[in-house]
Structure 1
Amino acid sequence: MQFKEIIGHDLVKAHLISTVRDNRVSHAQLFLGPEGSGSLPLALAYAQLINCENKLEDDSCGQCASCRKYSKLIHPDLHFSYPFIAKHKDDHAATFMDNWRKAFFNNPYLGLENWRQQLDAENKQVNINIAEAHEIIKKLSFKSFEAEYKVLIMWLPEYLEKEGNALLKLIEEPPEKTLFLLVAENQEKILNTIISRTQLVKINKLSHQAITSYLIESKHLEESEAREIAFIADGNVQEAINMIDLHTNNHFDLLVRWLRLVVQDSGLNIISICEDELAKLGRENQKTFLMYAINIMRQIVLIKQDLSSLVFLPSHELDFVNKFATHYTLEQIEETINLFETTHYSVERNANPKILFLDLSLQLVLMFKYKTFPKGTQYI
């Protein structure tokens, strides 16, 4: 993996490259960014640059023996650790290395749910067990086979619970030329004793434009479809890829027609659109529709807060959110977002879609038409 293959993050790339060029590579670093932002490929590209035999000014060469092995994830001095489901007490990450390579090559921006599917996890919980912690200590105690640095990339150290204490001394005082790169999404779930021993590399979510360009250039989507998917994905490449095969290009039209019936309290028509259209979208399309609706409402919140400069939408969507913002209060919009998020949660758990969307519609009618909020919310 080379930096030039990774979407966006020019400032982060420049920082990482400068640490290698100036010989300021910290032995333990925490790449912290939301799912699908590119933290994992950035960590791998960084490790590849460090061990590249013919470094370029702004990237690894991609041609030397080390780079070729890194590109196939088979370098003997490159080690991965990640959450998995231990079928036996002695299982460790290397047991699932073939699954890991397949998942990474399929999508370097992979999220936990996609990794769980690769493992056929069903309802089982993944974690990084004590056997894996001991295996890490064992592997990193050996001398390098051929590279200058031994590198361990640990994906989602949030799933390393008390077992992580076994690694503290190794992280604080590692063998010479040993590099720890932790790739995390939620800092609050990482052991504080590990955070205190690492240098933070903050990765922001990708912009809508960056994902739009990626979808057009790499996935060959039409610009209008790419923009809508990027808007719903909200910086998450994994989510964008998940949505490519779904029919999302009619979400705006469906949302506008549905909300128009809601604010007019058009009872029979509301029942009809819930049963004949929303309920028949299919679970994954229902989830993306609700995420699209949530993002639209968030743009309206920005306009209500006089932050229109942060709203980047196509003209027809921008016209809709501007008009909607003038008719309804901030409290109504925020409660709508809460209702959409609750409904999304219920869709994930296979609730009856006809009942679910009809109930949601009736709650929206009460709020928009009659200014009656759900119990527990401040009334107007």
Structure 2
Amino acid sequence: MKFSNVIGQEEAIGRLRQLVEEQRVPSTMMLCGPLGSGKMALAMAFASYLLGERDGDNSLLSDQMSIRNAEAMLKNWEHPDLHFTYPVIKPAGMSADHKMISDDFTREWHEMISEGPYFYIDNWLTKMDAANQQAIIGAGESDELTRKMSLKSSQGGYKVSIIWLPERMNAECANKLLKLLEEPPHKTVFIMVCEEPELLLDTIKSRTQRIDIKKIDDDAIEKALTERRGLDQDIAHRIARIANGNWMRALENLDAGNENRQFLDMFIMLMRLSYQRDIKELKKWSEIASSNYGREKQRRMLNYFSRMVRENFMYNFKQTELCYMTQEEENFSSNFARFINEANVIEISELLQKARKDIGQNANGKIVFFDLALQMIVLIIRK
């Protein structure tokens, strides 16, 4: 995968190239940034470059045959010196003695990354048929990674380990990985792709070179939508603004049955029932929210609710350049926005943040969503 396949992010790409040119590639680096910003795409492109894929006419390999071989292997993500680590589940019926490792889901992982380097954790959970299970990186993975990285490079160059969502490591795995990072094998590069770095051990973070990835520029998303998806300029411009730097959100808005439309329906239902103080129907709403969606989707739905609260608050100022909504969202907000005001916007936002945190900590979904609904009854009528 080439840097040219990454959407936007010219500044980050330039920094990665500079590390190679100045021969200052760190043994452990961490790419951090918001959802949909292309952290994984950057990691995969950088790994490909380190392993010999050409960047324009440049390659870290000098022999043309070696370059062609490296590119052929990287095309299918089957290079022997590239290793992926990612959170996994333990399928039903699996022996309790078996320590799950990433390789247990190699087929599903290669299917997903072959479809593209932009994805959410929920896409991965669906690939694994995870249902409501939480995916983690366990102690077995750190043992396996230590074994792999101790092997000699098959091609005589770098060995690269991409660790996706290292914040999902359990304590035993994190402590074992720390020992590996303290004394990394020769010419080994660990690339961590992280969304919640605050959850990582401080001792691990102190051993990484952190690179913060910004949201994708609207212009870059608009360009990608017109060139890669064939959209008209006006439609691409509107979608790019709504996406707010998130390529996955841009793609979702191209899907007629996309997830955000489901979330909008749930948001509208919550607000209308809260205003009507219909506790019986709100209880049904909370049961739908807790039973129909997995935990990762519940958290994304709450993120969507938070965005809609912000957009409706800003809508009251009648400044169109400050609002980022689809036509459907704007149609609802034209009548609803007045209910989000200075008297309640902060408390509603904090309520949604608390619910998201509780869901992430495995709280009972029915209780969390019903409590959210009951408190919304009080907040929504404040003026």
| Global fold match (TM > 0.5) | yes
Aligned to 2:117: 108
Q: Which moved more, 1:6-15 or 1:49-58?
A: 49-58
Deviation at 1:3, TM superposition (A): 0.8
Paired letter, 1:200: R
CA contact (8 A) 2:241 2:324 kept: no
2:181 is the counterpart of 1:171: yes
Match of residue 65, structure 1, among 64, 69, 79: 69
Cα distance in 1, alignment partners of residues 172 and 261 from structure 2: 47
Equivalent position amino acid for 2:111 in 1: K
Task: Give the equivalent residue in structure 2 for 1:192.
Answer: 202
Moved more, 32-41 or 314-323: 314-323
Q: Which residue of 1 aligns with 2:213?
A: 203
Alpha carbons of structure 1 residues 303 and 192: separation in structure 2 relative to 1, 3 Å: same
CA contact (8 A) 1:232 1:295 kept: no
- Distance in 1 (alpha carbons) for counterparts of 2:78 and 2:317: 51
Q: After superposition, where does 1:261-276 map in structure 2 within 5 Å?
A: none
Q: Structure 1 residues 303 and 15, CA, compared in 2 at 3 Å: closer, same or farther?
A: farther
Shift of 1:365: 8.6
Q: Pick closer, same or farther for the CA change 1:95–1:217 going to 2, 3 Å.
A: same
The superposition leaves residues 87-125 of structure 1 with CA deviations (integer Å, 9 ceiling, x where unpaired) of 461442123212111111223111111111111111223
Cα 1:291–1:156 change in 2 (3 A) is closer
Equivalent AA in structure 1 for residue 114 of structure 2: F
SS of residue paired to 1:331: coil
**Where does residue 332 of structure 1 map in the other structure?**
344
Residue pairs, 1:31-50, within 5 angstroms: 31-50=31-50
Number of residues paired by the alignment? Answer: 360
The code of the aligned residue for 1:246 comes to G
Contact kept in structure 2, 1:228 and 1:248, CA below 8 Å: no
CA distance in 2, matches of 1:200, 1:141: 24
The DSSP-based 3-state class of the residue aligned with 1:179 is strand
> Relative to structure 1, is the Cα distance of residues 108 and 169 closer, same or farther in structure 2, using a 3 angstrom cutoff?
same
Is the Cα contact below 8 Å between 1:336 and 1:364 reproduced in 2? yes
CA deviation vs aligned residue, 1:120-175 (integer Å, no higher than 9, x gap): 11122321122211111111111100141011111111121322211223212212
The one-letter code of the counterpart of 1:171 is: L
Confirm or deny that 1:140 pairs with 2:144.
no
Which letter maps to 2:135?
V
- Structure 1 residues 39-62: Cα deviation after superposition (integer angstroms, max 9, x where no partner): 111011111112226554788899
Q: 1:162 to 1:173 in 2, by over 3 A?
A: same
Match for residue 75 of structure 1 among 70, 73, 79: 79
The letter of the residue matching 2:174 is G
Measured in 1, the distance between the counterparts of 2:240 and 2:329 equals 14
Pair 176,239 (structure 1): closer, same or farther in 2 beyond 3 Å: same
TM-score, normalised by the number of residues in structure 1: 0.72
**TM-score normalised according to structure 2 size:** 0.71
Whole-Å Cα distance in 2 between the matches of residues 28 and 14 of structure 1? 18
The one-letter code sitting in structure 2 at the alignment partner of 1:218 is: R
Contact persistence 1:133–1:167 (CA under 8 A): yes
After the TM superposition, which residues 1-16 of structure 1 pair with which residues of structure 2 at under 5 Å, given as runs? Answer: 1-16=1-16
Identity level (%): 30
Q: Tell me, yes or no, if the aligned pair for 1:107 and 1:238 is still in contact at 8 Å.
A: no
The farther-off stretch of 62-71 and 135-144 is 62-71
1:224/1:148 Cα in 2 relative to 1: closer, same or farther (>3 Å)?
same
1:43 and 1:183 in contact (8 A); partners too: yes
- Cα shift at 1:294: 4.4
Q: After superposing the two structures, state which structure 1 stretch, 218-227 or 108-117, moved more.
A: 218-227
Query: Counterpart of 2:68 in structure 1: which amino acid?
Result: C
Change (3 A) 1:183 1:305: farther
Offset of 1:204 from its aligned partner?
A: 1.9
Please give the per-residue CA displacement for 1:8-49, whole angstroms capped at 9, x wherever unaligned: 111001100111112111111011122322111101111111
